[in-house]
A and B are shown apart, each in its own frame.
Chain A
């Protein structure tokens, strides 16, 4: 059974960067994309983008272009989200999830709280 296990909570000052990881455990992850979605307090889910582990192809939501990077470590079967230029509005729980092409998100990580405060 596949699981997505995310890294622990992070605290950063404004202007800093943060890396969140998402480890795939269990059976094969072939033909799936990894997506990142966040939820800030008092707001709804916000899609950030996707990456395909096999090809390394990525796509970023317009609101995050230039500030976010997705990568994949094949040996560790781990996806990474790097977010730069943090501001207080980036305080949120960040989730990784999987989807096969243009299908639904059927599996989610447990979430990683990122707090940005001076």
Chain B
């Protein structure tokens, strides 16, 4: 089965840049989607197809995908960005939907 690896936590000061990685074998061949989940709330799609933003997601949220690593970048981090972030891909074998373990972003 396909595995997505995310660091469990990341701490960033307000105004700085948060880069959250999602590692997978040749992940650049897949479309990566990212979800933000705040405590007590449902997940929200923040990036789809590696780098596209749904309407309502600010431009300071961006994504990239190269080699074995996809990255979600949040610039000028704010307190409201504190949440868990998950990457997700579709895979042809085994369970078709694969989710990373999630990264907890803490704003210092």
Contacts and interface: CB of A to CB of B under 8 A. Distances in A.
Interface of A: 35, 37, 39, 44-47, 50, 59, 61-62, 95, 97, 102-106, 108-111
B42 A110 contact: yes
Nearest to A101: B90
30 contacts: A35-B97, A37-B43, A37-B99, A44-B86, A44-B100, A44-B101, A45-B35, A45-B37, A45-B43, A45-B86, A45-B102, A47-B95, A47-B99, A61-B97, A62-B94, A62-B95, A95-B42, A95-B43, A97-B43, A103-B48, A104-B48, A104-B49, A105-B35, A105-B43, A105-B45, A106-B54, A108-B43, A109-B42, A110-B42, A111-B42
Residue of A95, A104, A106 with most partner-chain B CB within 10 A: A104
Given A44-B101, A45-B102, A108 B96 contact: no
Give the secondary structure class of B's interface: strand
Interface size class on chain B is 20 to 34
A106 B48 contact: yes
Given A37-B99, A44-B102, 12 more contacts: A44-B99, A45-B37, A45-B43, A46-B99, A47-B97, A50-B97, A97-B43, A104-B45, A104-B48, A105-B88, A108-B42, A108-B44
A53 B98 CA distance: 22
Contacts of B48: 103-104, 106
Contacts of B54: 106
Nearest to A99: B97
B52 to A, nearest CB: 9
Contacts of A104: 33, 45, 48-49, 88
B35 to A, nearest CB: 7
A79 to B, nearest CB: 15
Contacts of B96: 59, 102
Interface in B55-108: 84, 86, 88, 90, 94-102
A83 B49 CA distance: 32
B72 to A, nearest CB: 13
